[in-house]
A and B are shown apart, each in its own frame.
Chain A
Amino acid sequence: MGVVHGDLMTLNIGPQHPSTHGVLRLRVKTDGEIISEVEPVIGYLHRCFEKHCENVTYEQVIPYTDRCDYIAAMNNNFGYAVAVEELMDLHVPDRVEHIRVIVSELNRLASHLLALGTFGLDVGAFTPFLYMFRDRERILDLFEVLCGARLLYNYIWVGGLSHDFPKGFEEKIIDFLDYFEPQLDEYNGILTYNKIFIERTADVGVLPAEVAISYGVTGPNLRGSGVKWDLRKDDTYSIYEQFDFNIPVGTGTVGTVGDCWDRYYVRMLEMTESIKIIRQAVKALPSGDVHQALPKKIRPPKGSVYKRTESPRGDLGYYIESDGSPVPYRLKMRSPAFTALSVMGEIASGWMMSDVLAILGSLDIVLGEIDR
C-alpha cells in the first residue's frame, strides 16, 4: 500500500484573524494538517499612499508616512526626511541628528517589543505579551511627552524636528533605560529559553540565507539567517557611524540557522544594541536650535533620489522624483515588510497548520506598510 493522498483543502485565514497582525488573508492549501501551499492575499488596507503623495506638499507627506508603518512611525519619518534632505542637499544641525537617532532607536525598542510580544502570543505565551506591552507603554509615554502623540508622531521634519526635547527629557530616557535593561533578562527567562517556546519555534520555518537574499528580505529576518547586513553599518546614514554597536546575527543556538527562534532572538539582541546607541547618543547630545535648518518652503530641485534606511523591519527605501514644484512628482516606498511577507509561501509549505502562524509571527509584518 502506498501513501494515501487526499484532495487538497483550501482554507482562508483572515482577513479578520487576530494572528495575521492586521488585515492579511492567507489562502492556505492543506493536505490533512500539512500545509502544501500558502498564498498571502494583500490589499485590504490599501490607501493609495504613493498616489496621494503626488497631491500633497512635501511637509504634508510626513503624516502619511506615519501611517505606513504605524508601529515604528519615527523610523518612517526619519527615512523620508533623510531622503528629501539628500534631494535638497540640506544639512541639519548636530543636535537634530542626535535626537533623531535617539527617538528612532527608542521606537525600534517599542516596535521589537510589540513584535516579540505578539509572536509569543501567537505560539501561546500570554504573560510575556503583557510584560512587553507594559514596557512599550512607557516608551509611548515618553513620546507623548515629547511630541504630544503616542503613535503617529509627525515629529521628524525635513530639515529638523517639530519640537526640541522638553526640559529633563534626557534623564527620563536614561531612567527608562535603567529600568528596561534588567527587564530583558526577565523576558529571556520567561520566553526565550522556555522549553515550550523552543519546541514550537526551533527548526521551524527555516529561511536559508540564499532564499532570503533572492527574495530581498532585509532587517532582522535576514540577520536571523546569519547574514550580517545592517544599513546602519553597511550603508551608513545620519550619524550612525559615530556610535559603537554590534550587529547580532542568528547562529542557530537551539536549532538551525534561520529558524523562527533565531529571528526572534536577533530582535532580542538588537534591543540591547539599541540601548547602547541611545546611551551614547544621549551622552553626546550637543546643544543647538532644532528649528534652525527648517526650510521656509520645501521646493527640491529637479531630480530624483533613492534613500534607504534601516527601519525595525528592515530596508526602508524612499524613491522621490521631483520636478521642482512643492509637490513630489512621484514617490515610491520600498517596504521591508512586503518582501518579508513574500517569502512566506516559500518557507511555510511542508509545515503543520499551527506552525504557519508561528512563522508569520516571526516575520514581524505590518500590514499598513505592505498595502500602503
Chain B
Amino acid sequence: MLTGMGITWWHMMKIRKNNVTLQYPEERWPRPERNIGFDFSEYNIIRSRLQVDIDDCIGCMKCERACPVQCIKIQTVKSGARGEDLQDISHTGLTSNGTKKALIVLRFDIDLSECCYCNLCTYPCPEDCIYMTGGPNSNKHPIDYEFSQYDRNELIFKFAKEVEEEKMAKYLPKKEKVEA
C-alpha cells in the first residue's frame, strides 16, 4: 500500500511538469495542419467534417454509392453543352483538373448528423472534390471540428449552388403535359 502512496506522491510532486489535462475551451490541441506536428508524404489525414468543392463536382455519384449510411443526396441534370460555362446559373464547365462536366448538380446535401465519419466517400472521388477538411485540399478550407448546432436540420449541409427557379427552368427536363 505504501508503494502505491509513494507513486501517487511522486506524481503529485511533478504535477506541474507532467500535466496532461487541457482546459478545453481556453486551450486546445494544435490542429494537425499541413506539415505541422508530423509530415505525411502527400497530406495529413484527419476526419473532421466533410467538405465539397461544388465547382469541381462532376456529379458522378460515386460518393453517394460508397456511403454506408446514405447521408449524401445528389440530384443532377444534363447540361446539354459539355464543358461549357453557363453564366446565368453560375455553372462552370471545367473542373480544376480540366475535366469537362456533362451534368449540372442541382442538389448536393450531406446530412452530417447521419454521417459516420468512415471516410469511404472520399476515396472513389475522381476529382478529389469531396474530402474531410484537412485532406488534399486542406489549404482551401481550415480543419474544423467544432460545428455543433442547436437544431438538427442545420447539420444538413447544402453544397449545391442556389439558383432561382426561372433561370433553372430551361435546363430542367420538360414536364409532360397532362391531357385533360
Contacts A56-B68, A167-B39, A168-B38 given; indicate if A144 touches B46 (C-beta within 8 A): yes
* Chain A residues bordering chain B, tally (CB within 8 A): 36
Asked whether B7 is an interface residue with its Cβ less than 8 Å from the other chain, the reply is yes
Of residues 75 through 101 on chain B, the ones whose CB sits less than 8 Å from some CB of chain A are none
Contacts of B180 in A (CB 8 A): none
Contacts of B41 in A (CB 8 A): 166-167
Q: Least Cβ distance of B10 to chain A in Å?
A: 9
Q: Which residue in B1, B7, B45, B117 is a CB contact (below 8 Å) of A152?
A: B117
Asked whether A154 is an interface residue with its Cβ less than 8 Å from the other chain, the reply is yes
Q: Report the Cα distance A127→B32, complex, angstroms.
A: 30
Binary A-proximity of B30-48 (CB < 8 A = 1, otherwise 0) = 0010000111110001110
Asked whether A145 is an interface residue with its Cβ less than 8 Å from the other chain, the reply is yes
B32 and A166 form a contact (CB under 8 A): no
Q: Which residue in B20, B40, B116 is a CB contact (below 8 Å) of A63?
A: B116
Q: Report the Cα distance A134→B4, complex, angstroms.
A: 17
Contacts A56-B68, A60-B66 given; indicate if A145 touches B38 (C-beta within 8 A): yes
A166 and B1 form a contact (CB under 8 A): no
Binary B-proximity of A126-158 (CB < 8 A = 1, otherwise 0) = 010001001001000000111111001010000
Asked whether B3 is an interface residue with its Cβ less than 8 Å from the other chain, the reply is yes
Q: Which residue of B lies closest to A165 (CB)?
A: B40
Asked whether B118 is an interface residue with its Cβ less than 8 Å from the other chain, the reply is yes
Asked whether A301 is an interface residue with its Cβ less than 8 Å from the other chain, the reply is no
Q: Which residue of A lies closest to B116 (CB)?
A: A63
Q: Which residue of B lies closest to A131 (CB)?
A: B11
Contacts of A162 in B (CB 8 A): 119, 123
Sorting the interface of chain B by its residue count into under 10, 10 to 19, 20 to 34 or 35 or more gives: 20 to 34
Q: Report the Cα distance A167→B132, complex, angstroms.
A: 21
B68 and A64 form a contact (CB under 8 A): yes
Q: Which residue in A60, A66, A168, A195 is a CB contact (below 8 Å) of B1?
A: A195
Q: Report the Cα distance A168→B40, complex, angstroms.
A: 9
Q: Which residue of A lies closest to B67 (CB)?
A: A60
Contacts of B46 in A (CB 8 A): 144, 148
A148 and B119 form a contact (CB under 8 A): yes
B120 and A154 form a contact (CB under 8 A): yes
Binary B-proximity of A9-37 (CB < 8 A = 1, otherwise 0) = 00000000000000000000000000000
Asked whether A186 is an interface residue with its Cβ less than 8 Å from the other chain, the reply is yes
Asked whether A196 is an interface residue with its Cβ less than 8 Å from the other chain, the reply is yes
Of residues 119 through 159 on chain B, the ones whose CB sits less than 8 Å from some CB of chain A are 119-120, 123, 132, 134
* Cβ contacts A to B, 29 pairs, < 8 Å: A56-B68, A59-B120, A60-B66, A61-B68, A62-B118, A63-B116, A63-B118, A64-B68, A134-B20, A145-B38, A146-B45, A148-B45, A148-B46, A148-B47, A148-B119, A148-B132, A148-B134, A149-B47, A152-B118, A166-B38, A166-B41, A166-B45, A167-B40, A169-B38, A189-B6, A190-B3, A193-B3, A194-B3, A195-B1
Q: A-side interface residues toward B, CB under 8 Å?
A: 56, 59-64, 66-67, 127, 131, 134, 137, 144-149, 152, 154, 162-163, 166-169, 172, 186, 189-191, 193-196
Known: A64-B68, A67-B116, A131-B11. 17 other contacts (CB 8 A): A60-B120, A62-B118, A63-B116, A127-B4, A134-B20, A145-B37, A146-B45, A149-B47, A149-B119, A152-B117, A162-B119, A162-B123, A166-B38, A166-B39, A166-B45, A189-B6, A196-B1
